[in-house]
Amino acid sequence: MRTTANVLLGLVAALHVYFLVLEMFLWRKPLGRRVFRTTPAQADATATLAANQGLYNGFLAAGLVWSLVAPSPLRPALATFFCACVIVAGIFGAVTVSRRILIVQALPAALALAAVWLT
């Protein structure tokens, strides 16, 4: 179960690195606009906000990676904290922006958290 937890934590971290790249570097590009369903005008108007959001996603990714490499007594607590942050952010995003955020962001983190707790 530890391997499953580690793989899921790594997947959630990788997703958040992907979100960072989309939001900080590709927001105004066709891929970023397609993923977030924005027009060029919307992307231009919100680029600074998106970059800030991307930075926060990077911090979540860093925390999840930390939970994978920290000394073993710290790993479950770190993984729990950062997965919970991702889940809360996913729920908030689902309520305020799009329900698909629940599937893309919160569900993988919930699965990783369950695997951590079962380890």
Query: How do residues 43-98 score in pLDDT, each as one tens digit?
Result: 999 999 999 999 999 999 999 999 999 999 999 999 999 999 999 999 999 999 99
Give the domain range for residue 60. Answer: 2-118
Confidence of residue 1 (pLDDT cuts 50, 70, 90): confident
> What is the predicted pLDDT for the residue at 42?
97
- For 11-28, the pLDDT digits (tens) are 999 999 999 999 999 999
Give the total number of structural domains in the chain. 1
pTM of this prediction? 0.93
**The pair of three-digit structure tokens given for residue 31, joined into one six-digit string:** 């891929």
